A and B are shown apart, each in its own frame.
Chain A
Amino acid sequence: MGQTLAEQILSRGAGRAVRAGEQVVVDVDLAMMHDSISPSIIKVLHHEIGAERVWDATRIAVVIDHVAPAATVQTAGHQANLRAWVRQQGIRYFFDVGQGISHPVLVEHGLARPGMVIVGSDSHSTGYGAVAAFGTGMGTTDMALTLATGRTWLRVPETVRVLAQGQLAAGVSAKDLGLAVARRIGADGATYRAVEWHGLGALSIAERMTLATLSIEVGAKAGLVPAAGPGWQAHADARRLQAPGWLAVDPAATYVQTVTVDLTRLGPQISVPHQVDHVVDLHELGRVAVDVVYLGTCTNGHHEHLAAAAQVLRGRRIAPGVRLLVVPASAEALRRATADGTLGALLDAGATIGTPGCGACIGRHMGVLAPGEVCLFTGNRNFRGRMGSPDARIYLGSPEVAAATALAGYIAHPAEVLA
């Protein structure tokens, strides 16, 4: 019997061959916790579970990304406590303010690798699937139990296969594919399931992370892109990584559903307020004027995404009255953007640059929206109130559309402003 990638990885984690539908306990290879939830995790670990030490300090990563740098005395105090806890427990991987968002950081540093079971205190932990890890998000109590035991329990998910065919047109990118899939299967189309993204070997790791992070937006437990193709090879070669021999797409695997997408016919997709799966073709949208264009997040704030936007913006100025906020996903993204002229092009066009991290994606600081404001956002959620006022409106789109929108002042196709 064949196995999906999720079944292969969870079989290794469980120490026996497992199949979709089974309830299993697996060893965790890496546990990620961020500043926003760490105070409660630490409290449950020590005071409710009663563990004095974490199970393995070399398998834990702590990242300060959700309010980075601290916006209030309150958050500054939590972060100071977290630094002290990291020292006291001897946590090996600590990424302080400015290093970026947990998911891209752990991937860029080669800590997230193919075949690993990775749990994180963040729903977008599906993002580790960009490097064919089984990454999944969990809450405070599950995280604390993992820190105490090195294990977690779960139901092995069935898998939905997305089969991409053909090549993306100019100005169209992974974000458009991810939103198109949300449009097809809905916000709960993969609940209790995993998603495997096939036919995308050429995609960079950044673009793979767009799809892997968007997997939770269709309800998925994990979203995996096979560790194959030139996009994976470039990432692996730069870090001397190798995918384990036991992990490969199995032609005999059973998928609960296959969603085929013809990339050659795919145009820019826009998710309209206030649900991620409310998706339309950009040309169906009509004229939507914006106040803010926000380029960033674990979904679309990588160097490749900043560069794609810069390519549209280079030599031009954003429309009067529009704020273009750029928050790189990581220090690495910012460093590369500085080195290759991307940052200069963004600044010359009129962009404002924020500290690498989650920024305004969770509506806490660095660009929250006022009542009545409209934002074109490259992130992953357009829920009411997500980025600030519940009376603001958030539209999701690609970095290419974000750049075109900043120039036009309304939601625009890149071809429209480049014509």
Chain B
Amino acid sequence: MARIWRFGPNINTDQIVPGRYAPYMLPDEAALRNYPFIEARPEFAATVQPGDLIVAGANFGCGSSREYAPLALQLVGIGAIIAPSFARIFYRNALNLGIPLFEADLPAEVADGTAATLDIATGQLHTAGGLIALPPPPAFVREVWEAGGIVAYVRRHGRFPGQAAP
């Protein structure tokens, strides 16, 4: 079972990883895994488990273009992020890394610390309160997830998503 980590609206990239903890500033870049939500939620990095889910309010990931924000969440094994809406660059960076994002406004009952199981392929989220069907992403998004990120996608298909086959 995965744990739900619940966050409010407008979580910005400085909250996810402050600029002072950028890989550029770290003697050991792998240490990035210690810093997601280092100030906003100091217990997060030490207690998060692979497969855990972030459930947040609208406009998740607003602010900077820093890809090390979603990368830090990937390094600790976040299984998916579910929010009513995402900031554009964050969505794109997460997609490029192959992190599943679902656009959905989940009820408060899907509370912080509760357990859940998410089937990425079907978007079915099982919680103590029952089953929630997450809206499916566009086909190209699923294809990028399946490839394991945009670089692998481009290598496999020889083109960008939406581009005519060469």
Where the two chains meet, the residues of A that have a C-beta atom closer than 8 Å to any C-beta of B are 23-25, 35-37, 39-40, 44, 48-49, 66-67, 72, 74-75, 78, 121-123, 125, 137-142, 144-145, 151-153, 187-188, 191-192, 219, 221, 275, 362-364, 381, 383-386, 388, 390
Contact = CB atoms under 8 A, between A and B. Distances in A.
B18 A145 contact: no
Given A139-B66, A139-B93, A145-B150, A187 B59 contact: yes
Contact of B59 (A74, A123, A188): A188
Nearest to A22: B162
Interface in B1-34: 10, 12, 14-15, 18-20, 22-27
A49 B151 contact: yes
Contact of B151 (A24, A48, A188): A48
Nearest to B14: A383
A221 B63 CA distance: 12
A381 B65 CA distance: 13
B65 A122 contact: yes
Given A123-B89, A142-B96, A188-B85, A36 B24 contact: yes
Interface string B154-166: 1000011111000
B7 to A, nearest CB: 13
Contacts of A123: 63-65, 89
Nearest to A79: B24
Given A40-B68, A153-B161, A275-B10, A221 B20 contact: no
Size category of the B interface is 35 or more
Given A36-B22, A139-B93, A141-B97, A44 B63 contact: no
Interface in B63-100: 63-68, 85, 87-89, 92-93, 96-97
A141 B159 CA distance: 15
Interface of B: 10, 12, 14-15, 18-20, 22-27, 39-40, 58-59, 62-68, 85, 87-89, 92-93, 96-97, 140, 149-151, 154, 159-163
B163 A153 contact: yes
Contacts of B64: 122-123
Residue among A152, A192, A385 facing the most chain B CB atoms (10 A cut-off): A385
B87 A139 contact: no
Contacts of A39: 23-24
Contacts of B12: 381, 383
A123 B93 CA distance: 12
Contacts of A35: 24
Contact of B25 (A74, A151, A188, A275): A74
Nearest to B149: A141
A275 B11 CA distance: 10
Given A123-B63, A363-B19, A385-B15, A141 B24 contact: no
A72 to B, nearest CB: 7
Contacts of B160: 25, 145, 151-153
A122 B67 CA distance: 10
A188 B58 CA distance: 9
A142 B162 CA distance: 15
A22 to B, nearest CB: 8
Contact of B14 (A36, A48, A381): A381
A150 to B, nearest CB: 12
Given A75-B24, A141-B93, A386 B14 contact: yes
Given A25-B162, A139-B66, A363-B20, A72 B25 contact: yes
B15 A384 contact: yes
A191 B14 contact: no
Given A25-B163, A145-B154, A383-B63, 13 more contacts: A23-B162, A40-B68, A74-B24, A78-B24, A139-B65, A141-B151, A145-B150, A153-B161, A187-B59, A275-B10, A363-B19, A364-B19, A385-B39
A5 B91 CA distance: 24
A49 B152 CA distance: 9
Given A24-B162, A25-B163, A385 B24 contact: no
A219 B10 contact: no
A16 to B, nearest CB: 11
A376 B161 CA distance: 44
A133 B88 CA distance: 19
Nearest to A157: B88
Contact of A188 (B27, B87, B97, B162): B87
27 contacts: A23-B162, A25-B159, A25-B162, A25-B163, A37-B66, A39-B23, A40-B67, A74-B25, A75-B24, A122-B65, A138-B92, A139-B93, A139-B96, A145-B151, A153-B160, A153-B162, A187-B10, A187-B59, A188-B59, A192-B88, A383-B12, A384-B15, A384-B39, A384-B40, A385-B14, A386-B18, A388-B20
Contacts of A74: 24-27
Contacts of B68: 40, 140
Contacts of A390: 18, 39-40
A77 to B, nearest CB: 10
Contact of A142 (B18, B19, B63, B92): B92
A139 B39 CA distance: 23
Q: Which of A24, A25, A141, A275 has the most CB of B within 10 A?
A: A141
